[in-house]
A and B are shown apart, each in its own frame.
Chain A
Amino acid sequence: AQKVTQAQTEISVVEKEDVTLDCVYETRDTTYYLFWYKQPPSGELVFLIRRNSFDEQNEISGRYSWNFQKSTSSFNFTITASQVVDSAVYFCALGFSPLNKAAGNKLTFGGGTRVLVKP
């Protein structure tokens, strides 16, 4: 069975501080995908990044960066120099291998981490 754990339920920071969100996953598949989504107060989930299990390179996109470590089954997300607009709930999600046709594009979500950035 697949499982995603986001141990931090809520993080509060002051604007311009860095914040790191932890994500630990469990899967028996050797090929899988990991995702991060942002859920602002409006409720709609916004896609941030997709990473496949063969690509362990870290990725940076503006103030966002991701650290994928297969050895520890972790896919952590860092917001550098946080801004008030970063306040949202962030979800990490795990997808089945594309070879698992029966599973389709199903995702297993973590419980989410609420980030509150204070001015």
Chain B
Amino acid sequence: DGGITQSPKYLFRKEGQNVTLSCEQNLNHDAMYWYRQDPGQGLRLIYYSQIVNDFQKGDIAEGYSVSREKKESFPLTVTSAQKNPTAFYLCASSTQVNVWNEQFFGPGTRLTVL
């Protein structure tokens, strides 16, 4: 079945460590996105990529990094520079940047910093 997979579902990290969250899609979508969700709040855009080998900062990119070497993959690294990384992270994808279509979301990764 086509969809978006995120791994792991739960992730624990010690302070000062970098950690990478995986996002893979087999929908053949051009665009991919990373959002952060804090308890009781909406989604905030971290990074997005409209095409392979290209990505742009979203509203809260500080302390995060991404890569887009393959169309189906858009990993997110939470670096030690991110002051408050504990949150729920959602990956999404959508087709054709210049034609409005809904974003499809993965199941999310819950990151906890110990």
> Which residues in A have some Cβ–Cβ distance to B below 8 Å?
4, 6, 9, 33, 35, 37, 42-47, 50, 52, 91, 95, 98, 101, 104-107, 109-112
Count of chain B residues with Cβ under 8 Å from any Cβ of A? 30
Is there contact, CB below 8 Å, between A109 and B106?
no
Assess whether B107 is interfacial by the CB under 8 Å rule. Answer: yes
B92 contacts which chain A residues (CB < 8 A)?
45
Which residue from B44, B94, B107 sits with its C-beta under 8 Å from A105? B94
B38-67 residues at the A interface, CB under 8 angstroms: 40-45, 48, 50, 56, 58
30 contacts across the A-B interface (CB closer than 8 A):
A4-B42, A6-B42, A35-B102, A43-B110, A44-B90, A44-B106, A44-B107, A45-B43, A45-B90, A45-B92, A47-B103, A47-B104, A50-B101, A50-B102, A95-B100, A98-B99, A101-B97, A104-B48, A105-B48, A105-B50, A105-B100, A105-B103, A106-B33, A107-B45, A107-B103, A109-B42, A110-B42, A111-B41, A112-B41, A112-B42
Closest to B95 in A: A105
> Which residues in B have some Cβ–Cβ distance to A below 8 Å?
31, 33, 35, 40-45, 48, 50, 56, 58, 88, 90, 92, 94, 97-108, 110
